Structure 1
Amino acid sequence: MKIDYSIFNQKTAIDRFLFAVENGYFVEAHELLEDDWNFYKKQEEKEKALVLKGLINGATALALFHIKKRPLGYEKVWLAFIKYIPLLDIVEFEDKDKYYKAKNLLIKLSKEVEAKL
Structure 2
Amino acid sequence: MEAIDKFIKAIEEHNFIQAHELLEEDWKEYKKQGLKKEAKALQGLINAATALALFYNKKRPEGFKKVWPVYIKYKPLLKQVSFKNMPKYYYASILLEEKKEELINF
Please indicate, yes or no, whether the TM-score normalized by the shorter chain is above 0.5: yes
Aligned residue in 1 for 2:35: 45
Alignment counterpart, residue 21 of structure 2, candidates 3, 28, 31: 31
C-alpha distance in 2, partners of 1:106/1:83? 14
Q: Please state if 1:80 is matched with 2:42.
A: no
Aligned residue in 1 for 2:85: 95
SS in structure 1 of the partner of residue 104 of structure 2: helix
Structure 2 spans left out of the alignment, 5+ residues: none
**CA displacement, residues 54-85 of structure 1 (integer Å, 9 cap, x when unaligned):** 00000000000011000010111001000011
C-alpha distance in 2, partners of 1:97/1:80? 21
CA RMSD of aligned residues (A): 0.8
> Structure 1 residue 113: deviation in Å?
3.3
Aligned residue in 1 for 2:45: 55
Q: Give aligned-pair identity as a percent.
A: 53
Amino acid at match of 2:43: K
Amino acid at match of 1:92: S
Q: Between Structure 1 and Structure 2, whose CA radius of gyration is higher?
A: 1
Aligned residue in 1 for 2:4: 14
The answer to which structure, 1 or 2, has the higher relative contact order (CA under 8 A, 6+ apart) is 2
C-alpha distance in 1, partners of 2:94/2:74? 14
Alignment TM-score, normalising by the size of structure 2: 0.97
Q: Which runs of 4+ in 1 moved over 6 A?
A: none
